[in-house]
Amino acid sequence: MAGEPQSDCLFCKIVSGEVPATIVRETETTVAFRDINPQAPTHVLVIPRLHYPDAASLAAAAPTVAADLLREAGEVAAQEKTDGTGYRIVLNTGAGAGQTVFHTHAHVLGGRGLNWPPG
């Protein structure tokens, strides 16, 4: 059920402490940790503690948590000192967009040039 921890979800296991991660920030509603396969010098994932499969379902069911997720992405960028040079927040939704873990997560990318269009 959405909002409930899923026993087969990697990110739910990180939230519970069952799977280790390099945590950089935590709040009551979010956890931020370094990506194990970074695509930029700064590559941190920000996830809600609640399980929702993608950003759209999180926003529909828990809009305040979705706002917390975006606010924390900005805090991560500031903490990582990429807020002055620019950073990107990416929310992939669905396998066709590159989502591989179906627990909402925002990628905070920075520390190098990020060309447009992405892809």
Evaluate whether 110 touches 40 at the Cβ level (below 8 Å): yes
Q: Which of 43, 51, 103, 105 is catalytic?
A: 105
Are residues 105 and 32 in contact, defined by beta-carbon separation less than 8 angstroms?
no
Closest by Cα among 48, 49, 53 to 66: 48
Residue 105 annotated in active site: yes
C-beta of residue 58 within 8 angstroms of C-beta of residue 12? no
∠69-119-33 over CA atoms, to 5°? Answer: 30
Reduced to 3 states (helix: H, G, I; strand: E, B; else coil), residue 113 is: coil
Q: Which residues are catalytic?
A: 105
